[in-house]
């Protein structure tokens, strides 16, 4: 599903250049639930952003579902993101003046679906995360766990090839974290490829594969016996 070869990325910090990713080689098969671990500054978020086409790579190759991801301009990236990827963020990133349902319909709007189809689809995904009754509520009326579940529903609504989650439990207490992880595992079971960036050992243990990054290189990449969240 994902093929990365010799990926380099550096940031310019004034006159200095900060080399964040120093040659990453990394493949992900369809249906895997991968945890990308590392302390802060290890480059794990940068890797996820490049995978999510939110950021550009300096050198190396990136292939997603057989499509080489290169020469990205913003329009092309936007279309790929809409077609291939679903995002879940630590801070949820819901649009605060839109209801849960409207937030979930948004990616479908950009896919060009008809209004009625959008709402039907969105409601179905909200139902999948158990928030059908909360469809007309604004994000400010939802708990952290509920917000993240809405965000997951939104990410899933566009039927992405890969779900990318950046510290999805970072802003949640441990009980809610487990609930969210259970949802992610459930989605994974249905065959979806999922990548999670985290620095929490327990969260990583709930994944089928753990990749550890340190100082921009992969230190360890091993299969894990997935631990059930609940």
- State the residues that interact with another protein by CB under 8 A: 49, 52, 54-56, 74-75, 78-79, 81-83, 87, 89, 91, 93-95, 97-98, 102, 106-107, 109-111, 115, 154-155, 158
Supply the minimum distance, in Å, between the C-beta of residue 118 and another protein: 9
Please identify, using beta-carbon distances, which residue of 18 and 219 lies nearer to another protein: 18
Please identify, using beta-carbon distances, which residue of 16 and 75 lies nearer to another protein: 75
Q: CA-to-CA distance for 216 and 4, rounded, in angstroms?
A: 14
Q: Which of 159, 152, 14 is nearest to 85 (CA)?
A: 159
Residue 56 contacts residue 50 (beta carbons within 8 Å): yes
3-class secondary structure, 50:
helix
Supply the minimum distance, in Å, between the C-beta of residue 179 and another protein: 23
Please identify, using beta-carbon distances, which residue of 78 and 219 lies nearer to another protein: 78
Q: CA-to-CA distance for 73 and 75, rounded, in angstroms?
A: 6
Supply the minimum distance, in Å, between the C-beta of residue 64 and another protein: 15
Q: CA-to-CA distance for 100 and 64, rounded, in angstroms?
A: 30
Supply the minimum distance, in Å, between the C-beta of residue 194 and another protein: 17
Which structure tokens are listed for 99? Answer: 């209801």
Supply the minimum distance, in Å, between the C-beta of residue 208 and another protein: 26
Which structure tokens are listed for 160? Answer: 């992405």
Supply the minimum distance, in Å, between the C-beta of residue 226 and another protein: 28
Please identify, using beta-carbon distances, which residue of 93 and 176 lies nearer to another protein: 93
Residues 6+ apart with CB under 8 A from 167: 89, 90, 197, 198, 199
Element (H, E) at 221: strand 217-223
Please identify, using beta-carbon distances, which residue of 171 and 226 lies nearer to another protein: 171
By CB atoms closer than 10 A (0-12, 13-18, 19+), residue 230 is: exposed
Supply the minimum distance, in Å, between the C-beta of residue 1 and another protein: 19
The angle formed by the CA atoms of residues 20, 226 and 145, to the nearest 5 degrees, is 75
Please identify, using beta-carbon distances, which residue of 37 and 156 lies nearer to another protein: 156
Please identify, using beta-carbon distances, which residue of 108 and 204 lies nearer to another protein: 108
């Amino acid at each position: 599903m994902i093929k990365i070869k010799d990926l380099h990325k550096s940031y310019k910090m004034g006159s200095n250049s900060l080399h964040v990713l120093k040659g990453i080689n990394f493949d992900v098969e369809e249906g895997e639930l991968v945890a990308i671990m590392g302390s802060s500054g290890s480059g794990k978020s940068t890797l996820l952003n490049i995978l999510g086409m939110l950021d550009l790579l300096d050198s190396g190759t990136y292939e997603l579902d057989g499509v080489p991801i290169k020469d990205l301009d913003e329009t092309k990236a936007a279309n790929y993101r809409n077609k291939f990827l679903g995002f879940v963020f630590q801070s949820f990133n819901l649009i605060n003046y839109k209801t849960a349902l409207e937030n979930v319909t948004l990616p479908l709007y950009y896919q060009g679906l008809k209004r009625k189809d959008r709402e039907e689809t969105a409601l179905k995904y909200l139902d999948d995360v158990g928030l059908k009754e909360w469809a007309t509520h604004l994000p400010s009326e939802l708990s952290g766990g509920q917000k993240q579940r809405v965000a997951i529903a939104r990410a899933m609504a566009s039927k992405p090839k890969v779900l990318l989650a950046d510290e999805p439990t970072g802003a949640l207490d441990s009980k809610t974290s487990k609930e969210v992880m259970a949802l992610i595992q459930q989605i994974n079971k249905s065959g979806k490829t999922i990548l999670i960036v985290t620095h929490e050992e327990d969260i990583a243990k709930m994944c089928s594969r753990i990749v550890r990054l340190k100082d921009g290189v992969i230190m360890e990449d091993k299969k894990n016996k997935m631990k059930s969240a609940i």
